[in-house]
Amino acid sequence: MTSDNIQKEECDYLESYNAKDFDRPSTSVDNVIYTIINNALHVLIVKRSNHPFKDQWALVGGFVDLNTDNNLEMTAKRKLKEKTGVNTPYLEQFSTIGNKDRDPRGWSVTTVYFALLPSENITLNVGKGANDIKWAKIDNGKISETLAFDHSEILRECTQRLRSKALYTSLPLYLMPEKFTLHELQEVYHAVLSSKMDPKSFRRRMLTTDLLEETAEMRQTGRRPAMLYRVKNDQPFFFTRTIEGI
Amino acid sequence: MTSDNIQKEECDYLESYNAKDFDRPSTSVDNVIYTIINNALHVLIVKRSNHPFKDQWALVGGFVDLNTDNNLEMTAKRKLKEKTGVNTPYLEQFSTIGNKDRDPRGWSVTTVYFALLPSENITLNVGKGANDIKWAKIDNGKISETLAFDHSEILRECTQRLRSKALYTSLPLYLMPEKFTLHELQEVYHAVLSSKMDPKSFRRRMLTTDLLEETAEMRQTGRRPAMLYRVKNDQPFFFTRTIEGI
DNA sequence: AGAATAGTGTCTTTCAGACATTATCTT
DNA sequence: AAGATAATGTCTGAAAGACACTATTCT
């Protein structure tokens, strides 16, 4: 058969193809949206206003809308913008969970993204499908609320991933406001890692790369003023060695 | 409203819920199955016997079967077993691609897994939906065949991921036969990385961890015989520093 | 002996760990 | 001066890089 014939055949096939002929799992996206508040890691959760799991807390997510979303990442960004009013500076696909038991309505697939945001300039908005929204504090990798579906497990695994990445990447930089001191940055690493690091090792690591640049300003704290830095290069950086907590 | 009432309400909701009421993307799984043949990295591809992309090469994949597959990983393992006759010693979820353009039939989501297998004991089988199957040699991150859908790009990105993981993990061990020499293991690392490593550094790294154990045998090569090793601990190992190519 | 492959000795380099010390500010 | 926070000096240690060297086999 010639290649032209195959193309003709494929057109005929596509015309007669009916997307509803086969059973398909439902497809959603969930976001684990992290920020830092009062030196502690927090995650954004919403209270569901619809069944199933009505009135329970859940991650920020929703079904893919085949009409408005060109791809999965657009679904993630749409939900994130709807709830926070901002575009996230960092969004990474974490993992996809699909099985027949996670949703009482049947076979369901969710693609989980995680986002890192500075907490300034965010105005929380309950948006569609929710009647409450809040930042939940992460303590020892867990929050006090029980989440809908398998979201508690997703949150635990995602936070574990963020933690292990903080040992060899600059990802926590995406949680920082525009200007910050090295000490403040180290506190954010501590919040993510749940462990402390040697200040000399930490500063050496941050300053020998080309990640930061000094501003002309100092943070006036009432004690010795601290140099304010800003991010110079907004690509994530991967160190060749991991750093240890204390 | 009491919690009992919510539960009752949820039951009513689920009874009236019809899974076909909303448009859903099609959901598939694709496997990037790697092995080593003649000291070169290869990937398993099949020739499609159905539209779309009929008679073109593609990764080993297929739609999720909601009746037989309890979760996404089962779909991946089912297709892998169907084509190779074996269960893979290593399977990792790589990434999920979902958009409206990747499949001419419309919005489609695929979850990509990658597998690492020793090439022994494999009997290739065309299985369903294919009329040919073969190992394609990966040269500089690419194969000579053009793949269906977005599979060429998926393969490129997945191979890049495997490469970067080889710099700080023991993953290439899953490509080895039961017994192997350190030199053979290093050759496999070279095939994955497309670059050479210092033999002293490589051996030191492999032997100071608890990954391998000596067998009582030597490989007779016609020159100085080499010690044969086997894997002692089959968990993947993460080194705290990356190794450099030459 | 010479070639080929296996494997080692050892010095250098890099960067983190440890921890004492100095610097700059306020009260 | 005392106290608090910011920042550095400097020694040690772990593991990789570089590369010359030895070991074991076959012809």
pTM: 0.91
Say if A70 is an interface residue toward chain B (CB within 8 Å): yes
Say if B93 is an interface residue toward chain A (CB within 8 Å): yes
Q: Report in angstroms the alpha-carbon separations of B147 from A110, A211, B154, B209.
A: 27, 39, 10, 39
Query: What pLDDT, on the 0 to 100 scale, is given for residue B13?
Result: 46
- Substitution target in A66, A150, A161 with the highest count of B β-carbons within 10 Å is A66
Say if A97 is an interface residue toward chain B (CB within 8 Å): yes
Contacts of B67 in chain A (CB under 8 A): 23
Backbone phi, psi, residue A13, to 5°: -60, -45
Q: Report in angstroms the alpha-carbon separations of A66 from A63, B24, B100, B109, B244.
A: 9, 7, 8, 11, 45
Judge: A105–B19 Cβ closer than 8 Å, yes or no.
Answer: yes
Written as one letter, the residue type at A78 is R
Report the C-alpha gap between B61 and B30 in whole angstroms.
Answer: 4
Residues in chain A: 246
Helix (H) and strand (E) counts in chain A: 5, 8
Q: For residues B227 and B213, is the Cβ–Cβ distance under 8 A?
A: no
Give the residue from A48, A59, A53, A75 showing the smallest Cα distance to A129: A48
Judge: B240–A242 Cβ closer than 8 Å, yes or no.
Answer: yes
Q: Which of A71, A106, A240 lies nearest to residue B99, judging by beta carbons?
A: A71
Report the C-alpha gap between B56 and B53 in whole angstroms.
Answer: 6
- pLDDT values of chain B reduced to their tens digit, one per residue, 246 residues: 555 665 656 555 445 555 555 689 999 999 999 999 999 999 999 999 998 999 999 999 999 999 999 999 999 999 999 999 999 999 999 999 999 999 998 999 999 999 999 999 899 999 889 999 999 999 988 999 999 999 999 999 999 999 999 999 999 999 999 999 999 999 999 999 999 999 999 999 999 999 999 999 999 888 899 999 999 988 999 999 999 876
Q: For residues B85 and B123, is the Cβ–Cβ distance under 8 A?
A: yes
Q: Which of A14, A66, A95 lies nearest to residue B93, judging by beta carbons?
A: A95
Query: What pLDDT, on the 0 to 100 scale, is given for residue B3?
Result: 57
Report the C-alpha gap between B53 and B201 in whole angstroms.
Answer: 46
- Say if residue B7 is exposed, middle or buried (CB neighbours under 10 Å; 0-12, 13-18, 19+): exposed
Query: What pLDDT, on the 0 to 100 scale, is given for residue A13?
Result: 45
Give the residue from B245, B118, B144 showing the smallest Cα distance to B190: B245
DSSP A146: P
Q: Is the dihedral of CA A170, A176, A178, A180 positive or negative?
A: negative
A69-127 pLDDT, tens digit each: 999 999 999 999 999 999 999 999 999 999 999 999 899 999 999 999 999 989 999 98
Contacts of B105 in chain A (CB under 8 A): 14, 17, 19
A207-242 pLDDT, tens digit each: 999 999 999 888 888 888 999 999 998 899 999 999
Helices A151-166, A182-193: crossing angle, 10 deg rounding: 140
Contacts of A70 in chain B (CB under 8 A): 99-101
Give the residue from B214, B208, B205 showing the smallest Cα distance to B232: B214
Q: In what order do the strands lie in the sheet with B226-231?
A: B180-181, B226-231, B212-219
Report the C-alpha gap between B61 and B43 in whole angstroms.
Answer: 13
Residues with CB under 7 A from strand D: A 181-183, 199-200, 203, 219, 221, 223-227; B 197-201, 204-205, 208, 220, 222-225, 239-241, 243-244, 246
A18-71 pLDDT, tens digit each: 555 568 999 999 999 999 999 999 999 999 999 899 999 999 999 999 999 999
Contacts of B70 in chain A (CB under 8 A): 99-101
Q: For residues A148 and A58, is the Cβ–Cβ distance under 8 A?
A: yes
**Closest CA–CA distance from residue B222 to any residue of chain A (Å):** 40
Report the C-alpha gap between B60 and A90 in whole angstroms.
Answer: 32
Query: What pLDDT, on the 0 to 100 scale, is given for residue A4?
Result: 60
B113: enclosing H helix or E strand: strand B108-116
